[in-house]
Structure 1
């Protein structure tokens, strides 16, 4: 499978970030994996990452202290188009408030995925948004 340029994991739970990072590394989805524990740090990463390392995929938690997922999306939309034209944003959720769901519809995310991330969920994201599949493992 052709690897993604990079993936950005945004979650305030360091255990989730660690487990998701481990999963992405095991599946060899990308050679460049960034993590942020809030939306402000994620914006810093995006602004300061140029060229081929710009995230192709952002997995974004909705509820975070400081700048949460929705505030991140609102700020992200204000960035120059060149900084986000090829990025797919998937919201990671455990539960969603109806107000959050309606606001997300306005912010043009690519989809919602329930936590925890699994190999199957990552494979679905890759297939749907990047037309790529994880290699079939003989141990699966």
Structure 2
């Protein structure tokens, strides 16, 4: 699979965001990268995209531990976004947590495709593209 049109990073860690964006650019992952610092900003931004008729990002990389609204709360609110396009969005949880309870909890969300441990590398992103071409 070639690059995707747009992706979204939801993470409060500027170093993680920098690394992911750098890796995305290295492998020509997508045309557009949208970044939100917490789940609430992401929900607001994605709702605005829907209201303006803009397609949601194909892939969302979601951190779990963030201030204001964490990744779990984001997932609970994301499924309420009134948009037919949400089924075309694939969410990957990106976390430094190796707690097996987080991995198990992530499996309860049908929109979550996989759980990836930080730091995210170019090889991880290439795998996401190849996974997407197999769906």
Q: TM-score range by the shorter chain?
A: 0.7 to 0.9
**Offset, 1:54:** 2.0
**Offset, 1:117:** 0.8
Cα contact 2:3–2:30 (8 A) shared by 1: yes
Cα contact 2:106–2:115 (8 A) shared by 1: no
2:80 matched to 1:78?
A: yes
Q: What do you get for the CA RMSD once the two structures are aligned?
A: 2.0
Cα contact 1:5–1:52 (8 A) shared by 2: no
- Structure 2 CA distance, aligned partners of 1:105 and 1:113? 13
Greater strand fraction, Structure 1 or Structure 2: 2
Q: 1:45-101 CA distances to partner (integer Å, 9 max, x unpaired)? A: 211225564200000001111101000000001112414110000000111434433
Q: TM-score, normalised by structure 2?
A: 0.86
Q: Which has the larger radius of gyration?
A: 1
Q: TM-score, normalised by structure 1?
A: 0.84
Q: Which runs of 5+ in 2 are unaligned?
A: none
**Offset, 1:115:** 0.4
- Structure 2 CA distance, aligned partners of 1:3 and 1:100? 29
Higher-RCO chain (CA-CA 8 Å, sequence separation at least 6): 2
Among 99, 102, 121, the residue aligned to 1:97 = 99
Distance 1:102-1:55 versus aligned 2 partners, 3 A rule: same
Total equivalences in the alignment: 132
